[in-house]
Amino acid sequence: MRFASLIVGLETFIASRGGTQVRFKKGYLNVINEAKRRCKLGELVPLAVETSGHGAFAENNFSDDGTFTALLAASVVGEGQQAACLKGFEDAGYEEELRMEVRLGEEQSEEL
């Protein structure tokens, strides 16, 4: 449930800045290839992000490069713009997290 709320919040956040969120089939390479395809068609696609967190910026030739993303984020934080970047983004709210304890039977625990 939390993920669905986050997606709606993210879509609203992007739209409030004039952008469009496009959902595509899973897999970071699929998402990156779709971004490249849309660019070739003349669409403005500055960023491709897969739900696992893989992100690729057009300015870095859509390379799945976590270091580039981290440095870009650090530069924004370093300039004191972090609050401005997130202005208007509403947290989806707290969702209760459920955890279950897994217990192994006597035979299985001896094998471990």
> Tokens representing 94?
């707290």
State the pairing for strand pair 47-49/55-57.
Answer: antiparallel
Q: Are 55 and 48 in contact (CB under 8 A)?
A: yes
pLDDT higher than 90, residue 95: no
Mean pLDDT of 80-94: 64
How confident is residue 108, by pLDDT bands cut at 50, 70 and 90?
Answer: low
Distance CA 39, CA 98 (A): 41
Q: Stretch 65-87: mean pLDDT, rounded?
A: 71
